[in-house]
Amino acid sequence: MLHEIFARKNFSPLKDPFTPVVFPGKKFVVINKTNRRCAPAALCTHISQVMRRHLCSSAAFMLTLSLILDGGPRDATSVIQYLESTGFRVHYLVLASSWADKQIIREEDLEQLRAMIRRGHVHYFDLLVTRSPLRFQQRTEAVVALIRAVLAGSHR
């Protein structure tokens, strides 16, 4: 979904922030790594490097994180704990379903995420989008609207 929102094929988080057409005048840094493909400890290190690189910029950070909370090697708990420790107000945009499969976020995982969050907010998008271009577009528009609201300061 990040590729559709930002109309980019690649993201280079260690380079200068970019200003997407969909959010004029706003700078972004997108970390397009996830705990699904990268060990959580390595992901935390990468996030830390990116955040240090852009600490003095006014950029908003975006990160893809798979809500895996099973205690296994790709469990997101340590990444969420790291994000919570940064002092930033984090908005977790939880997408109930994916394009590729019919698997949906379990209510238990959503509640576990909410229990870990002290400073941030959880925004849940429950529209099922599996293999439906129309529903995927509708959810993308809803996510864009929320990001605009957050950037405007109406979701603190």
The beta-strand segments (E) located in 8-120 are 28-31, 60-63, 91-95
User: Do 104 and 96 contact (CB within 8 A), yes or no?
Assistant: yes
For tokens 């997108």, name the residue.
30
Residues 33-85 pLDDT 10s: 999 999 999 999 999 999 999 999 999 999 999 999 999 999 999 999 999 99
Going by pLDDT thresholds of 50, 70 and 90, the confidence category of residue 16 is: very high
| Cα separation of the two ends of the chain | 23
Please give the pLDDT value at position 86.
Answer: 93
Burial class (CB in 10 A: 0-12, 13-18, 19+), 142: middle
pLDDT in tens, 90-146: 999 999 999 998 889 999 999 999 999 998 999 999 999 999 999 999 999 999 999
Q: What is the mean pLDDT of the chain?
A: 94
Token code pair at residue 73: 């090697």
Tokens of 19: 């200003």
pTM recorded for the entire structure: 0.93
- Strands of 49-154, DSSP E: 60-63, 91-95, 121-125
- Whether 155 has a pLDDT exceeding 80, the answer reads no
Is the pLDDT at 156 greater than 70, yes or no?
no
